[in-house]
Chain A
Amino acid sequence: MTTTLRAAPAATIRTWLRRNLFRNRVDGVVTVVSAAVIGTVLFRAARFVLVTGRWEVIEANLRLLMVGRFPTVHLPRVAVSLAVASLVGGFVAGIVHQRQVAAGTSVVAHLSVVARLADLVERFWPALLGAALLLSLTSTAGPWITVGGALAAGLVGRLVGARLPALTHPVVVVAAVVTPFALVAYLADAVGWDSWGGLMLNVYLAIASMILCFPLGVLAALGRRSTLPAVRWISTGYIELFRGAPLFVLLLMANVALGFFVPAGSAPGRVARAIVVFTLFTGAYMAEIVRGGLQSLPRGQAEAGRALGLSPTRVTFHIVLPQALRNVIPAQVGQLISLFKDTTLAGFAMGLFELGNISESITSQGPFRGQQLLPEVVAFVALLFWIGSYTMARESQRLERKLGVGRR
């Protein structure tokens, strides 16, 4: 059932229907049955969302779902952190835009401001939808200030970033690298990691692990192909060990069994342990993905580099890795999306107060206990994860297209 509506301009609705949905008897049966199934599902979903769903459970627990039990007095820090992250992100986007315009590779430079805003909305509509939903559910000013501040900071950053002189660009790059760490320190200074919760914790676990697992995966992939046996064995051992164990079990072990190896009191907190497990686990998969990318390159690439007199390190970092990583962007992003969703396991394996765990607890205690409201909560949580995952997928496709321009 493809949309060939415009392919044949002369076709009326009637002939289109016949050609695409009722070509023969089997087609007709398939069409009617699937229409019935899809119709029923859509009807029930719509009824659940619009009529029967008791969304007051979300409204009442919105803050818990977003930031867990983060103390109220410190919530402004969350808003400030988001705004700063957004500002720096805006700077980077602005600089990227500036450079693309200079290089003539920008695809939006010729568009009007309105068209560019429309492009942004088209690009990030799931996240904007999520923000709108969030604001429609809240009854306090906090989320409005947070969302508004983040959007405004991003916009200001983008506008200023596009006008920053080239000399300052390295400063911004350094800032972009340092900011995540600084913000984490700023938040943790008020409230220790182990008291974080909600979507904020899921996002934190995911981003921290993503940042750490990427270099680890690249190093392990290179190590597995090293000519030095010891490096090769260690890399292979690490990869196979962590690919061979279920993530849930690893998280359980980090939660329970770490006490056997580390004296009580000196063990790192649960969030830190979760990040270590996510990093090691995803790093092992990243290593195999990157190794696939390395193997996909023709041997001639490295040979050409060596023949030019480039050192092995330079051959790896200037010639082999850039191509290998680009070739495996879809698989890498897929793995990172998995990581984001798998952060819910930390709730059940380690008792962290993240979204999955919260869903359980708000429907099993307090005023909403025993009212079978889990579907509402789970649907909401699923939507939050879908927004994050789908945005990552779309951005990766964009990146792929961009990097693929004019190249093999």
Chain B
Amino acid sequence: MTTDDATGAASRLGDATRPIKGDPIIVMEQVTKRFDDFEALKSIDLVVGTQEVVVVIGPSGSGKSTLIRCINRLEVHDEGRIVVDDTELSDDVRNIAEVRRETGMVFQQFNLFPHLSVLDNITLAPRKVRKVPRAEAEAQAMELLERVRIPEQAEKYPGQLSGGQQQRVAIARALAMRPKVLLFDEPTSALDPEMINEVLDVIKDLAREGRTMIVVTHEMGFAREVADRVVFMAEGQIVEVGPPEHFFTDPQEERTKEFLAQIL
């Protein structure tokens, strides 16, 4: 690392490691991730506090998805430290299992299990991992389906639902494990435009409830509305961090200004 980089990084990262609210629950220190020769993440420092909503934006290929996939170890980081709720991610499978129990993830492609009914999709993990009895798990699943506003779809299979409904089931499935942290990986990018809002509304509800979440998205209106902090990434680095009111109106970095000019 050259001195220029180090000083440059320090000035930018001052914000990234300071949550706007809550005690730190996710701590990433100097996290680097490589795919063969390509550095997807370059010494990322980021701290997220409890009940904080962090929205990550940036051009495609900037490492946003890789960043949140490292947090539940769907990707294995090569350097640095990641601590989730006082458990450090290492090769220790018990730690990995612990972190995955405490984090829920919602994917761009929903990734519902097509061979299971909506109810079984939601109850599978609570029953098998948390050993919740079936009746209790199903009652809880029905509550969650009420919250995502599709209780009438419980007996159907994912293939019978619209994209927006599927994504709401996926959110219910993630919530069923009662995770402390929710990770959203571009939850509306695969949806037809008319279905985006029904999903965003559910996520907004969750944000208002005070859930800790990291959301990777291209929906700027949503970011402005729910984010406590907006993180802008480019080329595997965090370029700028700030509360949405500053971030969108008064960005400091040239790269951020360019990006916002392109999309707004």
Contacts and interface: CB of A to CB of B under 8 A. Distances in A.
Interface string B225-252: 0000000000000000000000000000
Contact of A300 (B100, B109, B124): B109
Interface string B133-166: 0000000000000000000000011111000000
A408 B177 CA distance: 25
A407 B177 contact: no
Given A310-B124, A310-B125, A408 B114 contact: yes
Contacts of B159: 406-408
A298 B156 CA distance: 21
Contacts of A301: 111, 113
21 contacts: A298-B111, A301-B113, A303-B111, A304-B113, A306-B72, A306-B100, A307-B100, A307-B103, A308-B104, A308-B173, A309-B97, A309-B125, A309-B129, A310-B128, A314-B128, A318-B124, A318-B128, A323-B115, A406-B159, A408-B114, A408-B157
A151 interface: no
Most interface-central of A300, A308, A311, A319 (chain B CB within 10 A): A308
B92 to A, nearest CB: 14
Given A309-B129, A309-B177, A310-B129, A407 B109 contact: no
A298 B72 CA distance: 19
B72 A307 contact: yes
Contacts of A306: 72, 74, 100
B49 to A, nearest CB: 22
B101 interface: yes
Contacts of B101: 309
A341 interface: no
A323 B114 CA distance: 8
A326 interface: yes
Q: Give the size range of A's interface with the partner.
A: 20 to 34
Contacts of B177: 308-309
B74 to A, nearest CB: 5
A28 interface: no
Interface string A310-342: 110010001100110010000000000000000
Interface string A287-303: 00000000000101101
Main secondary structure on chain A at its contact with chain B? helix
Nearest to B173: A308
B105 interface: yes
Max chain B CB contacts within 10 Å: which of A304, A307, A311, A326? A307
Contact of B74 (A298, A303, A311, A323): A303
A407 B128 contact: no
A304 B112 CA distance: 8
A307 B74 contact: yes
A176 B25 CA distance: 52
Contacts of A307: 72, 74, 100, 103-105, 107, 174
A341 B74 CA distance: 46
A106 to B, nearest CB: 15
Nearest to A405: B157
A407 B115 CA distance: 6
A406 B156 CA distance: 8
Given A304-B105, A407-B158, 11 more contacts: A303-B74, A303-B111, A304-B107, A306-B74, A307-B100, A307-B103, A308-B100, A308-B125, A309-B97, A326-B115, A407-B157
Contacts of B107: 300, 303-304, 307
Most buried by B among A301, A303, A304, A306: A304
Given A309-B177, A310-B125, A304 B157 contact: no
A298 B109 contact: yes
Contacts of A308: 100, 104, 124-125, 129, 173-174, 177
A274 B154 CA distance: 49
Nearest to B103: A307
Interface string B205-239: 00000000000000000000000000000000000
Nearest to B73: A306
B114 A407 contact: yes
Interface in A73-92: none
Nearest to B159: A408
A246 B177 CA distance: 52
Contacts of B103: 307
Contact of B157 (A318, A323, A326, A406): A406
A303 B68 CA distance: 13
Interface string A385-408: 000000000000000000000111
A91 B83 CA distance: 54
Interface string B67-111: 000001010000000000000000000000100110111010101
Contacts of A318: 124, 128
Contacts of A406: 156-157, 159-160
A301 B170 CA distance: 12
Top 4 A-B pairs, shortest CB-CB distance: A304-B111, A308-B125, A300-B111, A408-B114
Interface string A196-227: 00000000000000000000000000000000
Contacts of A304: 105, 107, 111-113
